[in-house]
Chains A and B, each alone.
Chain A
Amino acid sequence: MRLPTLLAVIFALLLLSIGPSRALSLPPSQEFTLDNGLTVLLTPKHDVPLVAASVVVRGGALVDPPGKEGSMQLLAELLGKGAGERDARAFVNAVADVGGELSFSASTEALHGQASFLADDAALMLELLSDALQRPALAQGEFDKLRERAIQSLAALKDGDPRALLDVYGNAWLFRDHPYGRPVHGSEASLAALTLDDLRALHRSRIGADRAILSLAGDFEPEAMRRAVTAVFGSWHKAEGEPPEVPTAVRPQGPRVLLVDKPGATQSYFWIGTLGAAAHDPASAGQDLVQTLFGGRFTSMLNAELRVKSGLTYGARAELERLSRPGAAAWYSFTRTDATERAIDLGLEVQERLHHQTVKEDDLQSARRYVIGQFAPEYETHGQIADALAMLALYGQPRERIERYTEEIAAVGPAAFAAARAVFPQGRDYAMVVIGDGEKIASTLSKYGPVTRMRITDPAFSPPPADGNRPTR
């Protein structure tokens, strides 16, 4: 089924010394644009009788009105609560009756619709997606229920494993008033301020074909699918408002520490971040190798030190969030309360070692092999392929970005690697968040920088402004 292209064969020869002899080759896609501006990507793949859809609408939490964080996420959830001729119950029944999956959510920069249906039900899938995006009921009763549940769910989430919220607090603390700091799901306070009229306005001004991408992958014939998509989405209107522009945030200078007090917590969960890299960063391949060696796999520097050698934690990781502008570059771990200082100290030592120690060729080679060896399974299912191609289109990148990725990884040498390390925090220039039992760890944390304190039960993910310095929105 996968016939390597000539290019793939050439890459394969280049890669012989370091990785798979067969490069990943995605199934071919058709791409076209409807008159209303909708970008459509069709990628047939006939291995199992399923079809997946991924809709991406540019905007996301970036267009949440000030003080009403969580708007786009709530709108996304409301889209599936009745649309077209169906009320909320009829809509979920229509999906379930054919064993389908259909959901809408928001991310920082987009609204996402994702669906997976049996191939025989592809027409119904398109109809439901199109109804939800173009003709949502946006009913008051469903809005009231969803909003209340969203507020309560945040409280319930705070009861559970703090890993679920660590990066929400982390991004809010790192980016502060920059739009990337906004909690995509909102906060208890911001959700309480939301009205249905806000969401109706958001739908009119921000959801439209002109800024949307529809990516389909799976068991279908492209010509028939093209006709069906054109019929169903051809009349989708354009959005009224301008797409959002976002500036690059400022990298933190000097340390700042946020303690999120969770009384009774038996572990401390810590996150140390700075401004990282954007989706289109030309040094991406090198940065990905740095992330791998620093905290992206089991034998990474962080996991080796904090878990394997010292038994302090179940895991330690480093991650890069790539958006249209640089997102967070952060590492995080957790440990028993009385070991908090030891674990953070060790992690910071590892962070400094990353920046000051020259990478060994063996380690660099190991990282290259690992990233290349783990790459193909990211493009295995219809849903993975549909999503990946939609996200490339969102960020204006060609599909060769995927097909040439392993080649780029293979080409990263020691100098490029050394330069790419700067993406992670260094020295004392960081934003640090610690969720834990404040009574037991507050005094320890002051050594890492000035400490601001809040409670996990506070209805926002950022501390209230201490004085007039921080503008409120």
Chain B
Amino acid sequence: MNDSPRRLPALLLALAALAPAAFAKPAADSAPAAVPGAGTLAVRTLDNGLKVVVWPDHDIPNVALYTWFRVGGRNEYPGITGLAHFFEHMMFNGTSTGAPGEFDRTMEGAGGSNNAYTSSDVTVYQDWFPEEALEVVLDLESDRMAHLAFDPEVIESERGVVYSERRSSVDNDPMGALFEQMQATAFVAHPYQFPVIGWPSDVENWSMDDLTSFYRTYYAPNNAVMFVVGDVEPDAVLEKIEARFGRIPAQPAPRAVTTVEPEQQGERRIVVEKEGIQAPMLAMAWHAGSARSDQHLPLQLLLSALAEGEASRLHQRLVERDGLALRVGASLDSGFDPGLAWVYAVLPPGGDAAAVEKAIDEELERLVSEGLSAGELSRARKVAEADFWRGLQTISGKAQALGSREIFLGDHRLLFDEPARLAAVTLDQANRAAASVLRRINRTVGLIRPSAAATKD
């Protein structure tokens, strides 16, 4: 939910990016189907530590190249919050061999497009291009991994761009504003408390030195994994990558993030008052596990049954039965360190936040005391299974799916038995996850509402 893309996406994409994303939940039934092409992957780790995964797919004459760096908001500290995201912008702004703007001009001129996003955990660079452009794109990518340069004027101009991004995604978006404050409240020790886009005073103050040291530390080949999916021949592509990236020196491993968020001792509550809005929004966030936690998949299915889609419990209760909310949703952070499980409700203008909270609490109590039904678990699995296949329809979906398993679970091949692992989730596991996570003292409740002055209008 913290992803902060670099580009101006199509409008719906922009809005979707701000809302908690639908779960990417691969899944299965009793006899999961095999993923076509799963046996055709090629993997190589270069001497400098850069790992490359290639998945040929000749459906369309195009290629998706995703480069994942293990750096995000969690690697920041007060004074440089937002730097990982700002750095993502600077990765497009010039190297010692190419002037600012050259990267995009060359890539687009070769028929390619690109984007990038930063989360609390990772920074991901995405290139989409016709297969003829492969060498051009690899030249560009290796050049910026080896020779990034910083132009002081460009840094200042890019600060303005990031400010504009912040104004749209936080200042002028109630959901963004509420989630930022809740994130900062739910975590008191762990760096997940920092907004990925950065606090405004930090956006103003980071320096050239901060950027230089960030580059050296985190943009090393041994801190990255590259995924090439599409109309390529694996051996040829691996040779081309070896030739371009093989000589970039490895760096010492970045300092580990060791802070562990202490267990929450009681409910935290915040209110954000905002001028000029009409519709309040209520959200709850509970501390949950990391992507590798045994509870992760059961919790995904549980949240899906609770608040994803029109058949979910909270939609039926709050939207259809009680008419208290316009829509509800849920999401689960899926990162290196334990993150949050989120549930939110958008209220109508003048909506009754207390009544919404009471209704959610009743549903949560019922869920914890009675548990999910077998039918609900089966539905959640089926939804996950269909989403799994939807995600594998495109070369970019495959690159994203491989990357998230490799980076967060430690092995891209886990993608292929994920249907089996989801099928193995039991009702008991889902219900135990509910009881251990959805506790009142483990949550932060946030409300954004029109400011007192505005309500008189």
Contact = CB atoms under 8 A, between A and B. Distances in A.
Interface stretch (B71-79, B156-164, B292-300): B156-164
Contacts of A266: 167, 171-172
Interface in A127-182: 145, 148-149, 152-153, 155-156, 158-164, 167
Given A156-B278, A160-B174, A373-B112, A1 B159 contact: no
Contact of A335 (B11, B110, B164): B164
Contact of A99 (B33, B276, B349, B384): B384
A2 B7 contact: no
Contact of A298 (B7, B159, B310, B385): B7
Interface stretch (B129-137, B143-151, B399-407): B129-137
Contacts of A248: none
A160 B278 CA distance: 10
Contact of A334 (B18, B112, B168, B311): B168
* Chain A CB within 10 Å, residue with most, of B104, B159, B279, B387: B279
A279 interface: no
B368 interface: no
Interface string B224-250: 000000010000000000000000000
A334 B15 CA distance: 16
Contacts of B7: 298, 315
Contact of B311 (A50, A93, A118, A164): A93
A436 B114 CA distance: 31
Contacts of B14: 161, 163
A388 to B, nearest CB: 13
Contact of A47 (B36, B113, B384): B36
Given A96-B311, A366-B108, A381-B393, A310 B386 contact: no
B36 A267 contact: no
How big is chain B's contact interface, by range?
35 or more
Contacts, number: 231
Nearest to B231: A22
Contacts of B349: 152, 155-156
B41 to A, nearest CB: 16
Given A49-B33, A263-B275, A376-B62, A311 B156 contact: yes
Interface in B155-197: 156-161, 163-165, 167-169, 171-175
A473 interface: no
Given A96-B383, A264-B276, A153 B326 contact: yes
B257 interface: no
Given A50-B386, A377-B128, A96 B379 contact: yes
Interface in B270-328: 275-279, 309-311, 316, 319-320, 323, 326-327
A201 B387 CA distance: 37
B413 interface: no
B8 A20 contact: no
* Chain A CB within 10 Å, residue with most, of B15, B110, B390: B390
B392 interface: yes
B164 A312 contact: yes
A312 B311 contact: no
A452 to B, nearest CB: 21
Interface stretch (B53-61, B215-223, B355-363, B433-441): B53-61
B107 to A, nearest CB: 9
Interface in A367-398: 369-370, 372-374, 376-377, 379-382
Contacts of B366: none
A407 to B, nearest CB: 15
A225 interface: no
B105 interface: yes
A366 B320 contact: no
B173 A160 contact: yes
A107 B156 CA distance: 42
A167 to B, nearest CB: 8
Interface in A285-336: 297-299, 303-304, 307-317, 334-336
Interface of B: 7-8, 11, 14-15, 18, 33, 36, 58-62, 100-101, 104-105, 108-114, 128-133, 156-161, 163-165, 167-169, 171-175, 231, 275-279, 309-311, 316, 319-320, 323, 326-327, 346, 348-349, 375, 378-379, 382-387, 389-390, 392-396
22 contacts: A2-B59, A49-B33, A50-B393, A95-B311, A101-B386, A116-B390, A118-B382, A149-B348, A155-B349, A160-B173, A162-B172, A163-B14, A297-B108, A309-B157, A314-B165, A314-B168, A336-B164, A369-B108, A369-B109, A370-B111, A376-B60, A379-B60
Given A1-B59, A377-B394, 13 more contacts: A96-B383, A98-B386, A99-B384, A116-B390, A145-B320, A152-B349, A156-B348, A265-B172, A266-B171, A313-B164, A314-B161, A373-B113, A373-B129
